[in-house]
Amino acid sequence: LVYCAAATDHDEAGYRAAYVQGLQHVLEWLEDYGQTPKHLLFVSSSSVYGQQNGEWVDETSETQAKGYSGQVMLEAEQVALNSGIPATIVRLTGIYGPGREWLLTQVRQGYRVAVDPPLYGNRIHADDAAGLLAFLLRHVEKGGSLDKVYIGVDDAPAPLAEVVAWLREYLGVAEWAEDASVRRAGSKQCSNARIKALGWTPTYPTYREGYAAILKG
């Protein structure tokens, strides 16, 4: 069973409905119909980490979620881990890809971010996110064991200013805002060492390959 939901309403009630109550409803349905999945993958988010100073984060790092989104995700993770089904949490980072092009749009419109201190962001191409879930399912099918938590991220967390500068050059954007604007406060670098040790490798190891593929498409 892969539980991969998206909240319709971006407030605490909306998140709780999608991730906590939604998962509880699915688990109740399985019990009602006497079904026991071999494994449960719960797709969570790196928002459970509240680190803000560019620290490296892995699956053993303290979860210090400041906002409701990360706090509700942690609650939902516990529902999965306490379900009685062998469960693994997959904490995906900023998913981008076709149809998820917010940053590209912002750069074209002259988006500018502060260079110092660097605001580290983490990302994974949508195809790699799907491929990671498929990789974990195949691993279970072959009789392999999984850890309780994996972070889904590419090989290279990068300062947002670096990504924006690269996209500007690629797109030929020559003008941008005088003032820097940032929509989020967190800054951390997520490690994919645990999932790579299991044998997974991303098709798009950095934002360069991923965004180049989107723009060529």
Question: Is-contact 112 84, C-beta < 8 A?
Answer: no
3-class DSSP assignment, residue 26:
helix
List the domain boundaries for the chain: 2-216
Q: pLDDT for 5-34, tens place per residue?
A: 999 998 999 999 999 999 999 999 999 999
Question: Is-contact 56 42, C-beta < 8 A?
Answer: no
Question: Of 7-11, 183-187, 207-211, where does the model show the most confidence?
Answer: 207-211
Residue 214: partners with Cβ closer than 8 Å, 6 or more residues away: 96, 97, 98, 101, 104
Who has greater pLDDT, 181 or 20?
20
Share of the chain above pLDDT 70, in %: 98
- The residue-averaged pLDDT of 78-106 equals 94
Q: pLDDT for 131-158, tens place per residue?
A: 999 999 999 999 999 999 999 999 999 9
pLDDT at position 183: 55
pLDDT at position 31: 96
- Average pLDDT of the chain is 93
DSSP 62: P
Q: Which CATH class is domain 2-216?
A: alpha beta
- Report the b/e string of 23-60 with b at 16+ CB within 10 A: beebbeebeeeeeebebbbbbbbbbbbbbeeeeebebe
Who has greater pLDDT, 196 or 101?
196
3-class DSSP assignment, residue 17:
helix
Sorting pLDDT into bands at 50, 70 and 90, what band is 185? low
pLDDT at position 102: 86
- The residue-averaged pLDDT of 109-126 equals 90
Per-residue pLDDT for 179 more than 90? no
C-alpha torsion sign, points 107, 113, 115, 119: negative
